[in-house]
C-alpha cells in the first residue's frame, strides 16, 4: 500500500473506525490508474491532486462516499472513464457525486464574471441537489489555489478571480471559515501582490515586536490554567491578511491603526470549564473595561459560541482571549459542515431509512434547540428554529422573474414569499401573483421552473394573516416590521 493511501486511511480511521477502507483503497488505485499518464503543472503525478482533495475533506470528517468521490472527482472529465463504468465499480451514490462535480466544471464564465456570479451561484444550488458536491468542489479549488504558482501569470489571475467571485461565497455560506480565509489570502497574493507583500511584512514586523510580550502573557495564562487541572490547549489566532486589508479599507485606516491583530484561544473540554478558566483570568489579569462578551449564553446568529475577554499586560500589550470548547471551536472553523456526522453511526439506528440530509439536519437542529432552550423567549425560539430549518434546508426551489432572473426559495415557499424575495416594497404591495400566466392565491406553493410575476397595487398593505402565508424569514420580519410601525401610529 502506498504511503499516501496509508496516510489518508489513517485520517479517516480517526473519526470513523468502521469505514469501508477497502473501498477507499479501490478508489485510490482506480484514480491513480485512470490518471496514470497525466501530470500536474508542478510535474507531480496527477493522483497527488486527488489525494490532497480527499485529505482536505477529512478535516470535515466527511463520509466514505465523499472521500471516494473526491479521489475520483476528475476521472469523468479528464480520462476515458464513462459514468456507467464508474457506477458499476463504485455504485450510484459515489457516481452521482462525481457527476455533480463534473457538471459544475462544465459551466464556464470567462467574460463579465462578477456580474454573473450571483446567478451562477443560484443556478448551481438549484442544479446540485447534494451539498457534498459543492464541498468537494471547494476542496478541489483549495488545492488548486495552493499549487497555483506553477501556472502562467494570466491563468493564475483568471483562476483567482473566479475563485473569489464564485467559490469563497460558498465557503462563507457553508460557514467553512477556515477554508474561506485561506482561499482569500491565496487569491490576495495573486491579484494584489504588492499590497499583499506590504501587509504581510508589516504584520510580521508587528508580530515580532510583540512576540515577547505575547509569549509572556501566554506563559502567565498557562501558569494560571495549569493549576486548575483541566484539559486545555492554547492557540495563537491565525492570520488572515486579506481580512486585515478589507478592514483597513472599510475603516479607512492605515495598518498601524488596526487593533485586533493578535489574539489567543483557550480550548477546553466542557462549558463549565470555559467559565472556570474565565474566572481565573478575571482574578489574575488586568481586564480591559467592557471587553467581556458571553457568546456561550447568547450565541451569535450563525451559532458561534465563545467567551471573549481582552486583557492588558503589565507592559501595556492588549490581547483578546477567546475561551471555548472543542465543539465550539470546530463550529467556529467549519460552520454547518462541522455538524455533519459520519453516516455509519446512523446506519445502526432505527432511522436508517431517513435520508442522509435529514439525519444531518436533525443533529444540527438538536444542537440549535439546545442553545435555544437556555434562552427565555420560547415563542421567538420556536420561530427562530423554524427559520433556521428553512434556511438550512438544502432542498431549494428555483423560479424566475418575467425578465428571467433566477430567484432561489426554500422548498414550500409561497407566491407571497416570492413577492418579498423580489423586493420588500413589492411584497408589501402585493395584490396577487401570476404563475406561468395564471393568477394564483397568495398561499400557492411554488415549484421549480415556474415563471412568476407580481401584481402590485398602491392601496394594498400587509395584514396579520400574511404571517401565516409566508415561510421565509425575510418576508416574516418585513411583515412584522410593517405591522409594528402601523400599530404604533394608531
Ligand atoms: Mn480537480
pLDDT of residue 250: 82
220 and 259 co-located in one domain: yes
206 and 327 co-located in one domain: yes
pLDDT of residue 49: 97
Range of the domain at 221: 193-332
Q: What letter does residue 319 receive in the DSSP assignment?
A: E
Residue 400 three-state SS: strand
326 and 282 co-located in one domain: yes
Query: Using DSSP, how many helices (H) and how many strands (E) does the chain show?
Result: 22, 11
200 and 327 co-located in one domain: yes
Nearest to 236, CA basis, from 319, 165, 311: 319
204 and 247 co-located in one domain: yes
Residue 66 falls within a domain, yes or no? Answer: yes
176 and 198 co-located in one domain: no
102: enclosing H helix or E strand: helix 83-106
Q: How far is CA 355 from the centre of its chain?
A: 22
Nearest to 338, CA basis, from 103, 13, 15, 85: 15
Q: Where are the alpha helices (DSSP H) in 306-435?
A: 326-334, 344-347, 356-373, 378-392, 415-422, 424-428
**CA dihedral (238, 240, 241, 244) positive or negative:** negative
136: enclosing H helix or E strand: helix 131-146
Catalytic residue among 77, 215, 269, 314: 77
Q: Indicate the number of domains in the chain.
A: 3
409: enclosing H helix or E strand: strand 406-410
- Nearest 5°: the CA angle 311, 317, 320 is 40
| Strand residues in 278-338 grouped as ranges (E) | 286-287, 293-294, 307-312, 318-325
Residue 354 falls within a domain, yes or no? Answer: no
Residue 346 falls within a domain, yes or no? Answer: no
Q: How many CA atoms lie within 13 A of 200 on its CB side?
A: 10
Residue 371 falls within a domain, yes or no? Answer: no
Q: What are phi and psi of 316, to 5 degrees?
A: 90, 10
Per-residue model confidence as pLDDT tens digits over 289-302: 888 999 999 887 66
Cβ neighbours, 10 Å, residue 358: 12
CATH number of domain containing 261: 3.30.460.10
| Domain C-terminal end among 332, 361, 383 | 332
Nearest to 418, CA basis, from 431, 404, 392, 400: 400
CA of 59 to the centre of ligand 1 (A): 18
292 and 143 co-located in one domain: no
Residue 394 three-state SS: coil
274 and 318 co-located in one domain: yes
What DSSP string runs through 26-89? Answer: HHHHHHHHHTTT-B-TTSSBTHHHHHHHHHHHHTTT--HHHHHHHHTTTHHHHSS--HHHHHHH
Catalytic residue among 20, 59, 78, 89: 78
CA of 72 to the centre of ligand 1 (A): 9
Report the alpha-carbon distance of residue 151 to residue 144 in Å, rounded.
10
Q: What's the grid cell of residue 275? A: 467559565
Report the alpha-carbon distance of residue 391 to residue 394 in Å, rounded.
8
What does pLDDT average to in each consecutive run of 10 residues of the chain (490 residues)? Answer: 91 90 97 95 94 94 91 94 95 93 69 55 60 88 96 91 82 78 92 90 75 79 89 77 83 77 86 95 90 89 85 79 90 68 37 44 46 37 42 61 76 93 93 92 87 92 94 90 80
Residue 343 falls within a domain, yes or no? Answer: no
Residue 378 falls within a domain, yes or no? Answer: no
pTM, full prediction: 0.64
CA of 140 to the centre of ligand 1 (A): 5
127 and 228 co-located in one domain: no
78 is catalytic: yes
Q: How far is CA 193 from the centre of its chain?
A: 27
CATH number of domain containing 433: 3.10.20.30
Q: How far apart are the first and last CA of the chain?
A: 77
Region class of 91: left (phi > 0), else alpha (psi between -120 and 50), else beta: left
pLDDT of residue 61: 82
pLDDT of residue 353: 40
Under a CB-based contact definition with an 8 Å cutoff, are residues 465 and 479 in contact?
no
10 and 68 co-located in one domain: yes
CATH number of domain containing 19: 1.10.3210.10
| Domain C-terminal end among 312, 332, 352 | 332
Per-residue model confidence as pLDDT tens digits over 229-254: 899 998 876 567 888 888 788 888 88
Q: What's the grid cell of residue 344? A: 455509519
199 and 170 co-located in one domain: no
CA of 345 to the centre of ligand 1 (A): 29
CA of 50 to the centre of ligand 1 (A): 7
| Domain C-terminal end among 191, 224, 241 | 191
391 is catalytic: no
Q: Which residues pair with 399 in a beta bridge?
A: 407
Residue 344 falls within a domain, yes or no? Answer: no
49 and 173 co-located in one domain: yes
Nearest to 389, CA basis, from 371, 409, 364, 414: 364
Report the alpha-carbon distance of residue 436 to residue 412 in Å, rounded.
18
Residue 119 falls within a domain, yes or no? Answer: yes
Residues 6+ apart with CB under 8 A from 464: 483
pLDDT of residue 351: 40
Amino acid at each position: 500500500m502506498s504511503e499516501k493511501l496509508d496516510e489518508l486511511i489513517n485520517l479517516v480511521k480517526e473519526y470513523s473506525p468502521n469505514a469501508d477502507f477497502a473501498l477507499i483503497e479501490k478508489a485510490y488505485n482506480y484514480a491513480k490508474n485512470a490518471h496514470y499518464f497525466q501530470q500536474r503543472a508542478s510535474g507531480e503525478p496527477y493522483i497527488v491532486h486527488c489525494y490532497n482533495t480527499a485529505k482536505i475533506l477529512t478535516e470535515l470528517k466527511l463520509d466514505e462516499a465523499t472521500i471516494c468521490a473526491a479521489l475520483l472527482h476528475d476521472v469523468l472529465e479528464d480520462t476515458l472513464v464513462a459514468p456507467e463504468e464508474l457506477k458499476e465499480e463504485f455504485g450510484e451514490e459515489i457516481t452521482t457525486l462525481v457527476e455533480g462535480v463534473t457538471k459544475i466544471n462544465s459551466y464556464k464564465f470567462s467574460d463579465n464574471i462578477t456580474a454573473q456570479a450571483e446567478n451562477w451561484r443560484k443556478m448551481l444550488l438549484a442544479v446540485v441537489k447534494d451539498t457534498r458536491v459543492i464541498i468537494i468542489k471547494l476542496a478541489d479549488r483549495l488545492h488548486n489555489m495552493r499549487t497555483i504558482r506553477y501556472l502562467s501569470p494570466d491563468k493564475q489571475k483568471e483562476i483567482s478571480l473566479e475563485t473569489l467571485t464564485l467559490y469563497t461565497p460558498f465557503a462563507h455560506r457553508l460557514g467553512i471559515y477556515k477554508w474561506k480565509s485561506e482561499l482569500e489570502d491565496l487569491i490576495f497574493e495573486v491579484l494584489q501582490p504588492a499590497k499583499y507583500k506590504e501587509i504581510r511584512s508589516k504584520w510580521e514586523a508587528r508580530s515580532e515586536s510583540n512576540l515577547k510580550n505575547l509569549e509572556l502573557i501566554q506563559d502567565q495564562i498557562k501558569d494560571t490554567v495549569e493549576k486548575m487541572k483541566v484539559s486545555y490547549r492554547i492557540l495563537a489566532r491565525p492570520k488572515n491578511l486579506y481580512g486585515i486589508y478589507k478592514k483597513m479599507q472599510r475603516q479607512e485606516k492605515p495598518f498601524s491603526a488596526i487593533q485586533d491583530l493578535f489574539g489567543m484561544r483557550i480550548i477546553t473540554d466542557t462549558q463549565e470549564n470555559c467559565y472556570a478558566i474565565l474566572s481565573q483570568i478575571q482574578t489574575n489579569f488586568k481586564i480591559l473595561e467592557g471587553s467581556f462578551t458571553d457568546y456561550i449564553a447568547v450565541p451569535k446568529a450563525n451559532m458561534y459560541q465563545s467567551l471573549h475577554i481582552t486583557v492588558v499586560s503589565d507592559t501595556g500589550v492588549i490581547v483578546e482571549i477567546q475561551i471555548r470548547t472543542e465543539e465550539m471551536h470546530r463550529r467556529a472553523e467549519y460552520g454547518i459542515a462541522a455538524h455533519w456526522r459520519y453516516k455509519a453511526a446512523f446506519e445502526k439506528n432505527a432511522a436508517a431509512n431517513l435520508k442522509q440530509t435529514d439525519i444531518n439536519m436533525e443533529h444540527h437542529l438538536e444542537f440549535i434547540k439546545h442553545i435555544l432552550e437556555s434562552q427565555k423567549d420560547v415563542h421567538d425560539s420556536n420561530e427562530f428554529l423554524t427559520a433556521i430549518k428553512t434556511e438550512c434546508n438544502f432542498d431549494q426551489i428555483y423560479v424566475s422573474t418575467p425578465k428571467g432572473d433566477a430567484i432561489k426559495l426554500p422548498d414550500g415557499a409561497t407566491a407571497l414569499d416570492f413577492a418579498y424575495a423580489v423586493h420588500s416594497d413589492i411584497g408589501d404591495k402585493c395584490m396577487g401573483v401570476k404563475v406561468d400566466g395564471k393568477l394564483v392565491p397568495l398561499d400557492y406553493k411554488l415549484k421549480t421552473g415556474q415563471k412568476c410575476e407580481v401584481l402590485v397595487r398602491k392601496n394594498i398593505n400587509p395584514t396579520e394573516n400574511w404571517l401565516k402565508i409566508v415561510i421565509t424569514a425575510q418576508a416574516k420580519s418585513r411583515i412584522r416590521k410593517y405591522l409594528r410601525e402601523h400599530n404604533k401610529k394608531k
